[in-house]
Every structure is written in structure tokens, then in C-alpha cells.
Structure 1
Amino acid sequence: MYKLRGHHLLCLLGYRGMGYSAEYIENMTHLHHILRTKPDTIIHLVDGPDHLCKKYPNSGKYHCQDIHIYKRDELILEKLALHEGQKVQWKEIEESIRNYVNPSDISYMCETCSWRSYGVCEEGIHDIHQGKGLRKVK
């Protein structure tokens, strides 16, 4: 079981092997691969730092505790009809994305995200809508 916060559910859709540090990328790639190949994996939805935050580089401002990130988490969980404390399979999260999220929702849900300009999260949502699941990271 992996602990994930709300916004990371969408970050995983757009993940293409880029990140904040080599250690962060290795951690994210590992989790991404597990979820892509084992969609029955249980995710415990948490409020605050999670499995991915553990490897956020210890340099500069630690954005994982920023109030804006908490608000983004809350907005995304609400949009997905999920809630903090819930334990769900990754495939159920993908189903919620199919049912409740459109690619254009990224523009307001993740408005201040520095990764948004790449457009990969919208592509990831589109892939989920088509039943493709997570893209393989090269």
C-alpha cells in the first residue's frame, strides 16, 4: 500500500520521467511502474506529505507543506469524489478520473503548477479516458 496525496494522483498521469532530483525520479518511476503494471495496488489517500514527498530534494523551500498544495489536494480529491483517509485500488482512481475529470480541468485545478506547461497531465487524462492507463516511462 502506498500513501498518496490528492494532487499526486494527477501528477502520476503526466509523469514522463522528469523530476526534481535523481532520487525523486527513481522513486516516482518505481511507483509509476507498480501502478501501471499492478492496478490493484491499494492507495491510502492522505492529507499532507506522502510516499512521493519523502524523496523531494532537501534544498530550498519544501513545497510539500505549502498551504496552496493542501488546497490543490483538497480540490482534486473533491473533483474525484474521493476523500482523505480512504483506501482504494489504483484502478478505482483511474475510474474516478474517467468519470469526473476532463483534460481541460488541469487549467484550474493545477493552475500554479510549474509542470503544467508541458501539457502531459492533459495527455494522461486523455489516455485514462481511452482506457490506456498510465503511459510507460522510457
Structure 2
Amino acid sequence: MIYLRGHHLFCLLGYRGMGYSPEYVENMTRIHQNFRKNPETLIKIVNGPDHLCDKFPATEEYHCQNLNIYDRDASILRKMNLEIGQVLKWKEIETRILKHITSSDIGVVCETCTWRSLGVCEEGIEEIHQGKGLRAVY
């Protein structure tokens, strides 16, 4: 089971092999590709740092406990009708994205995210809506 916080559900959609450090990228790629290949993988929605935050580099400012990150998590969970502690499969996350999320939501709920300017999260949401699922990352 993979523990994820709210905003990382969107980060995984836009993931293109970039990150804060080689260790962080390796961890995120492993989790991302697991969901891509095994959409039955269980996820537990958590409040705060998760399995992606585990590999955040000690050399960077640790933003995983910042209040604005918790606010972003809560906003995304509300929009997707998810709750802390809920357990579901990755394919159910994709179904909820189809049902509740559009690419324009990124500009609102992820307004202050430093990765937003790349446009990859919007692309990821569009690809889910097109039935493509998560893209391969090598």
C-alpha cells in the first residue's frame, strides 16, 4: 500500500521524471510506474508527509509541513470527494479525476506550486480524460 497526500495525486499525473534530487526522482518514478503498470495498487490517503515526502532531500527546504501544502491537499481532496484515511485503488483515483477534475483546476488549487509553470499537470489530467492513463517515464 502506498501512502499519499492530496496534492501528490495531481503531481503523479504530471510527473515527467523531474524532481528535487536523484533519490527523490528514483522513488517517484518507482511509485508512478507501479501505478501505471498496476492500477489495482492500493493507496491510503494521509494527512501530511507521505511516501513521496520520505525521499525529499535534506539539502532542500523541507516544505512538506508548510500550511499552504496542507491547504492544497485539503482542496484537492474536497474536489475529488476523498477523505483522510480512505483506502482505494489507483484506478479509482483516475475515475475520480474523470468525474471531478478538469485541467483548469490546476490553475486554482495549485496556484502557488513551483512546478505549475511547466504545464505538465494539466497535460496529465488531459491524458487521463483521453483514456491514456499515466505516461511512461524512464
Superposition TM-score tier, normalisation by shorter sequence: over 0.9
Structure 2 residue identity aligned to 1:85? G
- Which consecutive residues of structure 2, in runs of 5 or more, have no partner in the other structure? none
What is the TM-score when the length of structure 2 is the normalising length?
0.98
The within-5 A match list for 1:37-48 is 37-48=37-48
2:81 aligned residue: 81
Shift of 1:100: 0.4
Asked if 1:106 corresponds to 2:106, the answer is yes
Find the aligned partners of 1:101 and 1:121 in 2 and give their Cα distance. Answer: 12
Find the aligned partners of 1:123 and 1:61 in 2 and give their Cα distance. Answer: 27
2:61 aligned residue: 61
SS of 2:18's partner is coil
Structure 1 residue identity aligned to 2:41? T
CA-based RMSD: 0.6
Find the aligned partners of 1:30 and 1:58 in 2 and give their Cα distance. Answer: 20
- Which consecutive residues of structure 1, in runs of 5 or more, have no partner in the other structure? none
1:115 aligned residue: 115
Number of matched pairs: 138
Structure 2 residue identity aligned to 1:102? T
Find the aligned partners of 1:129 and 1:89 in 2 and give their Cα distance. Answer: 18
What is the TM-score when the length of structure 1 is the normalising length?
0.98
Asked if 1:3 corresponds to 2:3, the answer is yes
Q: Percent identity?
A: 61
Give runs of ≥4 in structure 1 deviating > 3 Å: none
SS of 2:64's partner is helix
